[in-house]
Amino acid sequence: MNKNIIIRDLGSKDYKETWDFQTEILDGIVSLKREKRNEDTEIVTPNHFLFVEHPHVYTLGKSGDISNLLLNEEQLKEKEATFYKINRGGDITYHGPGQIVGYPIIDLENFFTDIHKYLRLLEEAIILTIAEYGLKGDRSEGETGVWLDVETPFARKICAMGIRASRWVTMHGFALNVNVNLGYFDNIIPCGIRGKAVTSMEVELGKKVSEAEVKQKILKHFKELFQVEEFIVE
């Protein structure tokens, strides 16, 4: 089993281009697994982790409700935002500048074959990361992601998650609100959940936060939780 992960920081990149890039990586890993299985030889598959920041974009998961997007095509143009219906789980969310998006494209057969555990460990990596800034993140029963004050009337989401897996290879991932403009969330019903707000690290801490520093903390906790042997930065 290969427990090394290749890390790439794509900087600011168009959503569709990144989606296509993820798909290319996933398809390559799945093809390798098929090929090796047919040859009945040992399978050694690569693992990847992409960091990216997207220009303003709204994405709707495969089970999502389009009515949760509160903008028409003309209003999207006015907001300089795009919209895509995509193949991850979950409903609608927003990506934009100041948000750290992480896309682990890993073969879970290198780690463990449990999608539920995978999602919980992704959440835990974010919970441990924001805890280093004095923020107490929690899970909300039945709702994937990381929340603050989840058991109060002031519950607010700080990190959204949605994934897809094919032959135990994952894609898509998480979006942590660091210094993001929260006004763009007013144009959707985030994750299809009414009555709960969205927040950011900047809002909670009252100051801008170093995104580079947050990424390093995420990787530190991801490495520990997934028992990664080595990160290979490309």
Judge whether 159 counts as a catalytic residue.
no
Tell whether residue 212 is among the known ligand binding residues.
no
Among 105, 122, 191, 219, the one annotated catalytic: 191
Task: Tell me the C-alpha distance between 91 and 109, whole Å.
Answer: 27
Tell whether residue 88 is among the known ligand binding residues.
yes
How many residues belong to the chain?
234
Please tell me the pTM assigned to this model: 0.94
Lowest-confidence segment of 2-16, 140-154, 167-181 by average pLDDT: 140-154
Which residue segments constitute the domains of the chain, with CATH numbers given? 4-233 (3.30.930.10)
User: How many Cβ atoms are within 10 Å of 61's Cβ, its own excluded?
Assistant: 21
Cβ contact 161:92 at 8 Å: no
Tell whether residue 173 is among the known ligand binding residues.
yes
Tell whether residue 11 is among the known ligand binding residues.
no
pLDDT in tens, 180-209: 999 999 998 865 556 679 999 999 999 999
C-alpha to C-alpha distances, 44 to 6, 37, 70, 71, 134, nearest whole angstrom: 14, 11, 45, 45, 40
**Nearest 10 degrees: Cα torsion 145, 87, 37, 43:** -40
